[in-house]
Structure 1
């Protein structure tokens, strides 16, 4: 049989895996039903817990609507969502403190590894928490810390007043703020918010307090989130 006359090219034709599939229990982990986290595992010897996942525009297309100067970033609310869910898994669903250290850049192609590391139980049931992203596919890749904080059990007493959701809306005495052109003005400053992140319906100011009414566009998939980061 004659060989084809065209040259063989080194072209990779395999599809990239976009998410972990199958039974993670077979890998020694526990499945986590969350849109940003896929599995969790206890850390031997310390009492901590490690949660893992991957985020990318291909698996989470709504992320493309959150860019700064052309660079897609995980929104700040995404870190809160990650930390809250990790805390829920260990019985510490209240975020006591969360400090952002560095932005998490979402690549235009492929995905980025994400880890949420919850520390061992400390006095009062408190646990430390950190959010990291890793480059490469190896176990010894470089990891960047994006946020650190602390979690407390859900039964911990709340500070401050009652929930604003039980009060009259809009808040009495608050002045409504004109939102005409707000997203155009933000775009000039480099904040490029697409349709999913343009859900600001109303803003009111009462002294130093600011109240906002936000809703996701109809059809936005919210499965797997406690509160969608957009």
Structure 2
């Protein structure tokens, strides 16, 4: 070990702490793991499914990293707002080239725990013969083990729409 000079008195204005390395950004960390970046505040990475045209989007939510979620409390429980599910669905559609959310059924509220993270997964299925894709939103609390079940919060259908001119007519 190397010897280091210590401060000689308490008011000497010299710093002796080691500088911590800068944390990697979510997109850089995702790319380093072989995952695709999604550039979205609620999602961290995208995984193209091998042997299929499906996509898996993942993210992690918590009241610590997303404090604005605490503003959406119902009967004392903090819930992920329904509009967040719509936003996640629209982003999933953008990732796979679908610009229309044909259907979105919210099934189970996503209750945000006070201290733990929530793992989030959006599964986008393969396109059918009409180009529609199924979508399912799942979560589980914390760093749950593999035997912890995922909870299904929403299901939906994504589609490729017509031109913007025909949509406004």
Which band: TM-score by shorter chain?
Answer: 0.7 to 0.9
How do 1:67-78 and structure 2 match up within 5 A?
Answer: 67-78=73-84
Distance in 2, Cα, partners of 1:138 & 1:107: 13
2:155 aligns to what? Answer: 148
Distance in 1, Cα, partners of 2:142 & 2:165: 41
Describe the shift of the 1:142–1:125 C-alpha distance in structure 2 as closer, same or farther (beyond 3 A): same
Matched, 1:119 2:112: no
Matched, 1:60 2:85: no
Shift of 1:121: 1.1
Segments of structure 1 that go 5 or more residues without pairing to the other structure are 1-16, 164-230
**TM-score, reference length from structure 2:** 0.77
SS at structure 1 position matched to 2:89: helix
Describe the shift of the 1:34–1:137 C-alpha distance in structure 2 as closer, same or farther (beyond 3 A): same
Describe the shift of the 1:59–1:98 C-alpha distance in structure 2 as closer, same or farther (beyond 3 A): same
SS at structure 2 position matched to 1:89: helix
Distance in 1, Cα, partners of 2:73 & 2:42: 18
Matched, 1:131 2:106: no
Distance in 1, Cα, partners of 2:142 & 2:163: 39
Shift of 1:106: 0.7
Match of 1:26 among 21, 32, 36: 32
1:130–1:149 contact (8 Å) kept in structure 2: yes
Shift of 1:102: 0.2
Distance in 2, Cα, partners of 1:150 & 1:51: 16
C-alpha RMSD of matched pairs (Å): 2.5
Shift of 1:136: 3.7
Shift of 1:122: 0.9
SS at structure 1 position matched to 2:110: coil
2:96 aligns to what? Answer: 90
Distance in 2, Cα, partners of 1:151 & 1:30: 20
2:116–2:141 contact (8 Å) kept in structure 1: no
Which 4+ runs in 1 deviate beyond 6 A? 156-159
Shift of 1:155: 3.2
